[in-house]
Amino acid sequence: MRMNPAQLSVSTPTDLEIVMTRQFNAPRQDVWRAMTEPELLRRWLFSPEGWKMTDCTMDNRVGGRYRWAWSDASGTEVLIISGVNKEVTPPSRMVHTETMQMPACGGPVGELLATIELTEKDSGTFLKMTLVFDSKQARDGALASGMEQGVNAGYMKLDGIFDASVAR
């Protein structure tokens, strides 16, 4: 069925942004459903080892809230991702806020604005997800993705990242 292995591409066009793109071999309407219907979403959204997704509530209207929560073996919520829909244009565009909380760590650990765009391409669907960070802590996470280039080449490459950010 899958003609080409679909490659996830991750880029960081600015210090505050992460852009992920991926091609899917499916009609756009199906991708939209899989991303907005709780019973489909919980089948593919990650569950960290030993945790279970225990809440997947979504109100897919503009101004509607969604809440995803994961619990540990004792049933205690350990991770909550929630937010409000700013734009909902089925089956092509969705903008929502995203706040991540880990109760064991205290308050919210990051906040961002996510834009999901689906376009018809090569008889399938092209997904573009743009994450824009606005809090300081969240920006630190963006900094981490800036280091992605450093993975293979180690510190020499990290040096380059430091150079770029020190240069004025």
Where on the chain is the footprint of other proteins (CB under 8 A)?
1-2, 6, 8, 10, 20, 22, 24-26, 30-31, 33-34, 40, 43-46, 102, 104-105, 109, 136-137, 139-141, 143-145, 147-148, 150-151, 155, 158-159, 162-163, 165-166
66/113 Cα distance (integer angstroms)? 14
Nearest approach in angstroms of CB 115 to other proteins is 16
**CA 167 to chain centroid:** 30
Nearer to other proteins, 62 or 117 (CB): 117
| H or E stretch at 139 | helix 136-146
Residue among 63 and 152 whose Cβ is closer to other proteins: 152
Q: Please say which residue, 59 or 104, places its beta carbon nearer to other proteins.
A: 104
Q: In the bound complex, what is the minimum distance in angstroms from residue 63's beta carbon to other proteins? A: 26
Cβ-contact 130, 17 below 8 angstroms? yes
Residue whose CB is less far from other proteins, 78 or 95:
78
Rounded to a whole number of angstroms, the minimum distance from the CB of residue 121 to other proteins is 15
**Which pair of tokens denotes residue 1?**
């069925």
Looking at the Cβ atoms of 6 and 88, the one nearer to other proteins is 6
Helix (H) or strand (E) run with residue 133 in it: strand 124-133
The span from the CA of 145 to the CA of 76, in Å, is: 30
Minimum distance between the CB of residue 18 and other proteins, rounded to whole angstroms? Answer: 9
Q: Tell me the torsion sign for CA atoms 31, 37, 39, 44.
A: positive
